[in-house]
Each structure stands twice: as structure tokens, then as C-alpha cells.
Amino acid sequence: MQIRIEGRHMKVTDAIREHVNKKISHLDKYFDGITGIHVILSVEDTRQKSQISEIVCAVVRGHPLVATAAHADMYMAVDESVHKMREHLKKFKSKMRSRKRESARFASPKAGLGIPNVEVLEEDEGQ
């Protein structure tokens, strides 16, 4: 899993980088198919002290998952966005499981749909 941390309109300190790595490292236990994570930390408005953490998670099958959180404290913004990403990953994993079950159910001829197997009878061409 490749982790990339980027700061927009701010400098990413070692303490923040360490905090982000610590929080992000636990995400792979919720879904194994994570290929890369891009964390974007930014300051929106200096007067309101709105600090934004955005996590973009690339997964094996599907579009990237995005979680964004804003808070006055950057550490709290990171924590909130990681929590949101955790919930996204749980939901995505359950969707993948249900799709797999549905496709397996419809792929087998005896899928429990109440439709009997139909055999094709060969007709004699001489008659």
C-alpha cells in the first residue's frame, strides 16, 4: 500500500506526518484491496482556522473512495476523515461480498429460483 501525504497552503510537519501514518496504517484491516492512499491536508481560511483533511483511497475494484473532514485542529480533522474512510471501506466491502453472493446465486442453474432445468431435445431431421 502506497501512502502519499501532501500539504496545500501549509507545511506538513513530522508530527502531523507521523500521526497520519499511524492512523492510516490501520485501514488495511477493513479492506484488503487498498492499492494506494493519498492524504491532502490544507488550510481553507486563515481567519476561521478551518483546516481540512481529505483522504483519497484507491481500491482494487471500483472508483476511488473519498473522505473529507474540516475542523479547527488538524489532528481532529485527520481523525474524523479516517473515521469516515473506515466507514466507506466497511460499506464497500459489504457491497463487494453481496455482489459476489448474488453473482454466484444466479450463475448456477439450481439457484433456488424455482425454475426447473430445461433439457434440449434433439429432433430427427429425417421426418
Instruction: Tell me, yes or no, whether 54 lies in a domain.
Output: yes
Closest CA to 75 of 20, 124, 14: 20
Residue range(s) defining the domain that contains residue 28: 2-107
CA–CA gap between residue 54 and residue 126 (Å, rounded) = 73
Portion of the chain with pLDDT greater than 90, in percent: 54
Q: Domain of 32: which CATH number?
A: 3.30.160.100
Residue that the C-alpha cell 484507491 belongs to: 58
Cα four-point dihedral sign 41, 6, 9, 15: positive
Going by pLDDT thresholds of 50, 70 and 90, the confidence category of residue 4 is very high
Model pLDDT for residues 65-119, shown as the tens digit of each residue: 999 999 999 999 999 999 999 999 999 988 888 876 666 666 655 545 555 555 6
Instruction: Tell me, yes or no, whether 26 lies in a domain.
Output: yes
Instruction: Tell me, yes or no, whether 42 lies in a domain.
Output: yes
How many Cβ atoms sit within 10 Å of the Cβ of residue 90?
12
Instruction: Tell me, yes or no, whether 119 lies in a domain.
Output: no
